[in-house]
């Protein structure tokens, strides 16, 4: 252990890879003694090894409690902070350290107090007795301390309802971190905050932009409990400030179905000149379930918006509308070729949410399987998988992709086939041909695919049975395990 102390003393002077390797060796030890040294390393505040040390401490388990409490109880601020960080790793498992954590809130060092407040929040409901002390910290002169206390009260949840009046006052705080933490906390504490809706609406009316946005966000965090505020919220979709319009749209979306009455107002934001507002509005319409003719038409038009994030939100909204928005299917197919992968993924997911009616665009999606662009090809595969049995006509092309592409694309194609289930029927022989391939990876992938399909297909089970006579033990074992898995699920035998 003397060698370890010497290593720690020289850590700052060693090359980054050597420093990281030293921490990883301590992680392998995984003992309380190693934990003491890792906490000492945390105290060095060395950016190179800090993350590695935290990761190593997670491997120690409950034995971390004692050395972490020893660190927190020391006289050195850096070691106290590291001890608190180590306790946070244990979460509720460090509940017995709560008295020590509360006592350390009187520490003159701001970083130590913030670390302790953060750790108390990780205890969740086990820190319910700390609510009064945390509420007192909301009066701190340091915004970081206020924000940490508010977050912890939110993590405690409904047991922290006594703190809501003070959290409410913080919605008007000049620091954004504090406003956001207070709004989040009130949402997590729950229905008790309904009595403060009038106060939040007042903030939304009279505060500066930051305060008004925080008030709208707080109402949104209350979800359906804020239903009585919908009429007042809807007035602010006409606000001249774009941040307020966006925050109000997001709040209405979080409130959900009770906000259907705001449809005539919210739909006006779908034409807003600001892309952030359009994005929030189209997503909110989907979340609420607004399906009027004008909303659906605008939503589909926004699939062609010049901003990628708006196209993604519109694609997600089409999926939320489901079969009512089926006329947007072809526009979604075009988005499978979008330059942004996030937009492609949203379109693929939404095509599946359209259900069996998306069958009419399956031929268009199949054409994209031959794209030279990997992301486009993979998005098309994902779309066919999410559509499921109704996309069974794509089985020959997907089966071919398993053979000609390999790697992740082949895996995606196999997964899409399994989602088609019993509808594959006549296409199974195309798949079973891969069992005769000279490529073991393709054979094994085919066996795994047949295992999933074998729940519905006698032909798939028979093909797996035939693999039991293969000369390769790996193939035999994979087939045997697959057949056993099918039998456990269905009772089927061959």
Split at pLDDT 50, 70, 90, the class of 10 is very low
Average model confidence (pLDDT) for the chain?
A: 89
Average pLDDT over residues 256-273: 96
Domain layout of the chain by residue ranges: 1-122
Average pLDDT, integer, range 453-470: 91
Question: What's the pLDDT band for 355 if we cut at 50, 70, 90?
Answer: confident
Helix (H) or strand (E) holding 177: helix 176-189
Mean pLDDT of 323-332: 94
pLDDT category of residue 488 using cuts at 50, 70 and 90: confident
Q: What percent of the chain has pLDDT over 70?
A: 91
For residues 101 and 53, the model is more confident at 101
pLDDT at 21 over 90: no
Buried b / exposed e over 375-404, threshold 16 CB at 10 Å, is bbbbbbbbbbbbbbebbbebbebbbebbbe
Query: How far is it, in rounded angstroms, from Cα 130 to Cα 330?
Result: 56
Non-local (6+) Cβ contacts of 76 within 8 A are: 43
What percent of the chain clears pLDDT 90, i.e. is strictly above it? 72
Residues 229-257, mean pLDDT to the nearest whole number: 96
pLDDT at 9 (0 to 100): 42
Q: For residue 463, what pLDDT is reported? A: 94
Which DSSP letter does residue 325 get? G
Which region among 14-23, 52-61, 74-83, 323-332 has the lowest average model confidence (pLDDT)?
14-23
What is the CATH number that goes with domain 1-122? 1.25.10.10
pLDDT band at 139 (very low <50, low <70, confident <90, very high): very high
Report whether pLDDT(137) > 90: yes
Where are the alpha helices (H) located in 91-140, listed in sequence order? 98-103, 110-122, 131-137
Taking residues 20-38, report their average pLDDT.
Answer: 59
Q: What is the pLDDT of residue 3?
A: 44
Q: What is the DSSP string of 366-393?
A: HHHTT-S-HHHHHHHHHHHHHHGGGGGG
Does residue 13 carry a pLDDT above 60? no
- Residue 75 DSSP class: S
Integer Cα distance of 380 and 201 in angstroms: 46
What would the pLDDT profile of 373-427 be if each residue is shown by its tens digit? Answer: 999 999 999 999 999 999 999 999 999 999 988 788 999 999 999 999 888 888 9
What is the three-class DSSP state of 334? helix
Q: What local confidence, expressed as pLDDT, does residue 426 receive? A: 87
Dist CA 360 CA 417 (whole Å): 18
Q: Is a pLDDT exceeding 90 seen at residue 107?
A: yes
Q: Could you give the angle at the alpha carbon of 357 between the alpha carbons of 420 and 453, nearest 5°?
A: 5
Tell me which of 9-18, 131-140, 250-259, 330-339 is least confident: 9-18
């Amino acid at each position: 252990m003397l060698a370890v102390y010497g290593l720690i003393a020289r850590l700052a002077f060693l090359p980054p890879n050597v420093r990281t390797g030293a921490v990883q060796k301590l992680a392998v030890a995984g003992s309380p003694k190693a934990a003491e040294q890792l906490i000492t390393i945390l105290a060095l505040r060395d950016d190179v090894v800090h993350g590695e040390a935290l990761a190593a401490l997670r491997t120690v388990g409950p034995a971390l409690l004692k050395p972490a409490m020893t660190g927190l109880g020391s006289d050195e601020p850096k070691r106290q902070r590291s001890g608190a960080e180590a306790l946070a790793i244990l979460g509720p498992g460090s509940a017995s350290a709560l008295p020590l954590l509360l006592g350390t809130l009187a520490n003159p060092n701001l970083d130590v107090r913030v670390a302790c407040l953060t750790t108390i929040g990780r205890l969740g409901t086990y820190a319910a007795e700390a609510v009064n002390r945390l509420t007192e910290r909301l009066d701190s002169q340091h915004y970081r301390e206020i924000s940490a206390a508010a977050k912890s009260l939110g993590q405690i949840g409904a047991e922290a309802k006594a703190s809501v009046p003070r959290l409410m006052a913080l919605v008007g705080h000049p620091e954004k971190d504090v406003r956001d933490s207070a709004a989040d906390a009130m949402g997590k504490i729950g229905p008790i905050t309904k009595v403060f809706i009038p106060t939040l609406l007042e903030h939304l009316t009279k505060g500066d932009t930051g305060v008004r946005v925080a008030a709208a966000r707080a109402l949104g965090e209350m979800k359906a409990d804020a239903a009585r505020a919908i009429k007042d919220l809807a007035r602010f979709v006409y606000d001249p400030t774009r941040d307020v319009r966006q925050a109000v749209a997001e709040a209405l979306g979080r409130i959900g179905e009770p906000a259907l009455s705001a449809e005539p107002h919210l739909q006006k934001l779908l034409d807003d000149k600001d892309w952030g507002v359009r994005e929030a509005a189209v997503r909110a319409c989907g979340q609420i379930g607004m399906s009027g003719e004008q909303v659906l038409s605008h939503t589909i038009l926004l699939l062609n918006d010049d901003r990628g994030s708006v196209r993604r939100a519109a694609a997600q909204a089409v999926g939320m509308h489901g079969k009512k928005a089926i006329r947007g299917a072809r526009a979604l197919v075009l988005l499978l070729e979008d330059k942004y992968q996030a937009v492609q993924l949203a379109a693929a997911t939404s095509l599946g949410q359209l259900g069996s009616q998306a069958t009419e665009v399956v031929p268009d999606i199949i054409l994209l399987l031959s794209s030279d662009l990997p992301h486009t090809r993979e998005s098309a595969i994902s779309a066919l998988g999410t559509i499921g049995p109704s996309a069974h006509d794509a089985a020959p092309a997907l089966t071919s992709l398993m053979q000609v592409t390999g790697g992740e694309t082949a895996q995606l194609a196999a997964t899409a086939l399994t989602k088609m289930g019993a509808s594959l029927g006549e296409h199974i022989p195309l798949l079973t041909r891969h069992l005769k391939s000279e490529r073991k990876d393709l054979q094994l992938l085919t066996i795994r695919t047949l295992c999933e399909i074998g729940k519905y297909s006698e032909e798939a089970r028979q093909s797996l049975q035939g693999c039991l006579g293969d000369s390769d033990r790996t193939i035999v074992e994979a087939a045997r395990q697959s057949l056993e898995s099918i039998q456990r699920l269905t009772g089927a035998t061959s």
